[in-house]
Structure 1
C-alpha cells in the first residue's frame, strides 16, 4: 500500500512538473487590445448613421469632437447628432480641442464651455465616460497646461474621467510625469509628419516612444493610430480633411494598412505596461476619401490577410464585338490602382482608355497603363476603357502593381 502511494505521488509530481514546463515554455497568445474610435467631423451628415451602425462590432467606445478653441476662430461648438449617439448607446468621451497655435487661454472660460457641453450631452441621454483634452502644446507651455488640467479635474464629477492627448515631443520634459498623474488616463499620439518619405508612421520610432511613455505613466493609457491620408502643403502644413480635389498639387502622405498591422502585432506580442487599447483616427464615412474604408479598418483590426485582390469586369454591348472594361478591388483593403493591366491573347481592332488609364499598343494583347493615381476602396471599381474585338474577351488578365 505504501509503495502504491509513493508511485502515485511520484506520478502526480511528474504531471505537475510537466504542466509547469508546458506553461513556461509555450509561447503565450498575443494580447488583443480594446478598440475605440474618434469621430472628428465638424459637420455631421446623413452618412453618420450607417457608419456608426457598421462600426458597432469593431469599437467599444466613441471619442467625439465637441468643441475647438482657436486663436482666430474663437470657441466653436460643433453640432453633434446627440439623438443618434444616444440611440447608439456606446460610452462616449467628449473631446475638446485646443489649437496648438494658442499662445494663451482663459482656464475658467475653457472649463465653463466643457461643463456646458457635458450638461447638454447628459441631458440628451448620452452615456458619458469622460472628457479628453486634445492640445498639441509646445513643450514650453506644459506648465500652463498643467494648471488648466488640474483645475478641470477638480470640478469634474467623480464618474467623469479626464484624459489628455499626449505628444512624443513631451517625452523629455520634466513636466510630463506630473501631467500624467493629473489625468486619469491618456492617449499617446504616435503618428507624426516627419517627412513625406516617412509618411504618417515611423514604426521603429513609434515603438521607442511607446516604451518611453510606458515608463513615465502610472495610469492606463491608449495609443492613437492613423487610418487616413493627409496632404502636405508647400509650407509643410498638414491638411487631413481637405477634399482630394482641393489638395491637388500637394504632396500626399499616407500609411499603409500593413505598416499599421505590423505595429499592432508588435504591441500585442510585447505589450507595454499600462497599455489598454487603441483609438483610431478617424471614423470613416462613405464620402471621406482620405480615410480608410471601414472594410480596410476591420481587416487590420481582425488580423485578416492584407493582400489586394483584383477582378476584371467585362460588359458586352448589343454589338457583340464591343466591350466596356473596368477593374474592381475585390479584396478587403483599399489599394492604389494597378500600374498596368494586361489582357493576353486579345484580338482587338480598336481600344481606348478611360478615367485613369490609357491604352498601350500590344501585338497580341490589350494593355491598359495607368496615367493618374487613385486609391480604390475595397469593393469599388474603376473604368479601364472600351475595346472592339474580333472575338469575345475571356476575362484572363495580368496585373502589374
Structure 2
C-alpha cells in the first residue's frame, strides 16, 4: 500500500513538472509573438529639386534599392498664374526601375483655379513625360489651399480625373488643417486614388518644424476619413526662419542657402534620430490605411539644408544612427591663435552640441558658425546660439582661441 502511494506521488510530480514546462513554453511563445518587431513601412521619396545637378542623379542612383516610388516635382503654378516646368534628367527617369509619380504644385495663394487651362497643361505635361520614355505611374497634385477653397478644389479634381487615362492613379497632398472641415475633406478625398498627409512645416514656425505627438494625432484623424491607401510625408531637412524686430515672420528658407539679413533668425531642424523613432512607432501603431512614408526630400551632397545622404540611407535601412562628435584644434593661418573645429566621424548627422568647453587660460577667443563665446565659474566655453546639424563625415570651424596657460584640450558637452 505504501509502495503504490509512492509511485503515485512520483507520477503526479512528473505530470505537474511537464505541465509547468508546457506553460512556460506557451508563455514564451506568447511573449515572443507580442514582442515581434513591426514590419517597416515602405519608403517613397520626393525629388523636389528644380535643377537636376550631378548630385541629384548620384543620390537617386545610390538610393534606388531603398525607395519604392519616386515623387518627382514636374511643374509649379505660382500665385500669379505663371507655370514653371521642371526639366529632369530624362535618361535617369527613363532607366529607373522604380515607378515615377509626377507632382504638380499649385500655389495655395492662387486666387482661382482655371480648371480647363490647368487640366490642359497637366495633360500636355504627362504626354511629354511619356514621350520621353518615363514610366509615369501616377499624378500627384500639391495644392495647399485654404479650407474655404476645398469645394473648388474638389470640382477641379473631379474634372481632372475625367480627363486622365483610367490607368493613371491620381493622388493629392493633404494638410492637417483640412480636418477641421470634414465634409469638404471627404469630398476632396473621394476624387482621388491615394493621398499623402503632410505633417511637417504646417504649424506656426514658432512651434517648430515637426511635432511627433501632433503628427500622430493628425494621422489617426486622417485615417478615419480615408477610404483609400494613404501615406505620410516626413521631413529630412531644416528651415531657417527670420523675424523682424516687431515679431513678424519675414522669411522661411528651406530649399536654398541662408541669406544675409539684419532680422532675427532661428534654425528649425528635423533631427534624424527623432524622425527615425517616429517612423518606427507608426510602423508599429499603424493607423488604418497607412501604406508607407514619402520622405521630403531626397538629400544630396549639394543640399545644405537636408540630412546627409549617408544618414538618410541609414534611416531607410534601419541601421543604428551613431554620430561621433569631437573637437580638434588647428593652426590659424598667420596668427598665434588656433581654430576650433567640430568633427563628426560617425555614420549619422549630429545635432550641434550645446557647449564646447575649453579648459585653459586664454587671452582672446570668439565663436563663429552658430557659436558665441561665454564663461562660467569653471572655464571658458563656446555656447551654441543657433540649432543645426553637422553632417556625417563633415567638419565645421566653430571658433578661434589664443591661450597662454594650461593645456588646450577642448571637449564637447551635450
Query: Cα deviations across residues 286-325 of structure 1 (Å, max 9, x unaligned)?
Result: 22222122222233333444454213445689xxx99765
Q: Counterpart in 2 of 1:125?
A: 133
The Cα of 1:349 is off from its aligned counterpart by 8.6
Q: Counterpart in 2 of 1:223?
A: 232
- 2:389 equivalent to 1:382: no
The Cα of 1:170 is off from its aligned counterpart by 1.4
Q: Which runs of 5+ in 1 are unaligned?
A: 1-10
- 2:76 equivalent to 1:68: yes
RMSD: 3.5
Q: Cα–Cα, structure 1 residues 342 and 269, in superposed 2: closer, same or farther, change >3 Å?
A: same
Which of these residues, 249, 254, 260, is aligned with residue 240 of structure 1?
Answer: 254
- 2:315 equivalent to 1:300: yes
Q: Counterpart in 1 of 2:194?
A: 185
Q: Counterpart in 1 of 2:5?
A: none
- Whether contact under 8 Å (1:214, 1:273) holds in the other structure is yes
TM-score relative to the length of structure 2: 0.80
- Whether contact under 8 Å (1:352, 1:358) holds in the other structure is no
Distance 2:376 2:205 in 1: 36
- Whether contact under 8 Å (1:71, 1:102) holds in the other structure is yes
Q: Cα–Cα, structure 1 residues 123 and 165, in superposed 2: closer, same or farther, change >3 Å?
A: same
Q: Counterpart in 1 of 2:29?
A: 22
Distance 1:251 1:180 in 2: 36
Distance 1:181 1:148 in 2: 12
Distance 1:336 1:300 in 2: 16
Give SS of 1:26's match.
helix
Aligned residue runs from structure 1 range 337-356, under 5 A: 337-342=352-357, 355-356=368-369
Q: Counterpart in 1 of 2:67?
A: 59
- 2:382 equivalent to 1:369: yes
Q: Which runs of 5+ in 2 are unaligned?
A: 1-17
Q: Counterpart in 2 of 1:174?
A: 183
**Number of aligned positions between the proteins:** 383
Query: Cα deviations across residues 43-67 of structure 1 (Å, max 9, x unaligned)?
Result: 2223212221222233221111111
The Cα of 1:191 is off from its aligned counterpart by 1.5
Q: Cα–Cα, structure 1 residues 25 and 181, in superposed 2: closer, same or farther, change >3 Å?
A: farther
Q: Cα–Cα, structure 1 residues 150 and 180, in superposed 2: closer, same or farther, change >3 Å?
A: same
The Cα of 1:202 is off from its aligned counterpart by 1.8
Distance 2:162 2:376 in 1: 73
Distance 1:369 1:252 in 2: 18
Distance 2:196 2:374 in 1: 50
TM-score relative to the length of structure 1: 0.82
Distance 1:354 1:252 in 2: 17
- Whether contact under 8 Å (2:325, 2:350) holds in the other structure is no
- Whether contact under 8 Å (2:233, 2:293) holds in the other structure is yes
Q: Counterpart in 1 of 2:113?
A: 105
Distance 1:342 1:217 in 2: 52
The Cα of 1:163 is off from its aligned counterpart by 0.5
Q: Counterpart in 1 of 2:51?
A: 43
Distance 2:98 2:323 in 1: 33
Give SS of 1:216's match.
coil
Distance 1:251 1:210 in 2: 28
Distance 1:93 1:273 in 2: 23
